[in-house]
Structure formats: C-alpha cells, structure tokens
C-alpha cells in the first residue's frame, strides 16, 4: 500500500471543509425555521401555545447557533480536527428535534 494510510497517518483531505459547510447549511435551515415561527406568530391571532412554541424555537435556534459556531472554530484550528464533545453533539440533536416539534405545533 502506498499513500498516507500506509504508514498510519491520516489524510483529512476536504473533510473538515465539508463538515464546516454542513454546519453552515444547518444553521441556515434553522434560521429559516425560526424566522417562519416568528412570522407565524407575528401575523396576529396567535394563541399562547403558539407564542411559547415560537419562543422555544428561537431559544433552540440560538443554542444551535452557538454550538455550530464552536464546532466551526474547532474545525478551523490548526492540526487534525477532533470529534465534538458528546454533550455538544447531544445538545445539537436536542435543539434540532425541539425545533422540529415546535415547527409542527405552529403548523397545526
């Protein structure tokens, strides 16, 4: 075998760049979802549950934005990229699922 993997080295290639772009797409999608939630509530006639769902959606968006910013900074650091801490990965999943649930509540 020849190449970087033959001697046990790791060739990250463009993987960190793809991961960074993936985080950017995720935050963009979350931003659109949060803005749609705000728009749904701002159009008037919103119930208390809708306002709470919108507030929770915006809070989750802020959390996801913070997690993504932290991960993007970690990916641009010199040296090989490290795996995200499990608590940040779990928080990102929780924020994403909560935003989906809040969005579903606002649609109903």
Cα–Cα distance measured from residue 14 to residue 55, given in angstroms and rounded to the nearest whole number:
37
Residue 106 has pLDDT above 90, yes or no: no
pTM for this predicted structure:
0.76
Tell me the average pLDDT across 100-106. Answer: 81
Task: Collapse the DSSP code of 107 into the 3-class scheme (helix H, G, I; strand E, B; otherwise coil) and give the result.
Answer: helix
For range 77-104, the mean pLDDT? 86
Predicted confidence (pLDDT) at residue 13 exceeds the cutoff of 80 = no
The residues, any chain, with a CB within 8 Å of residue 56's CB and separated by 6 or more, are 98, 102
Question: Rounded to whole angstroms, how far apart are CA atoms 10 and 31?
Answer: 35
């Amino acid at each position: 075998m020849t190449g970087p993997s033959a001697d046990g080295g790791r060739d990250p290639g463009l993987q960190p760049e793809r991961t960074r772009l993936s985080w950017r797409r995720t935050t963009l999608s979350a931003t659109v979802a949060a803005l749609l939630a705000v728009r749904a509530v701002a159009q008037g006639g919103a119930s208390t549950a809708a306002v709470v769902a919108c507030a929770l959606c915006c809070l989750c968006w802020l959390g996801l934005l913070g997690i993504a910013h932290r991960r993007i900074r970690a990916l641009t650091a010199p040296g090989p990229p490290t795996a995200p801490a499990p608590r940040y990965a779990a928080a990102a999943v929780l924020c994403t699922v909560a935003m989906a649930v809040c969005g579903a509540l606002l649609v109903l």
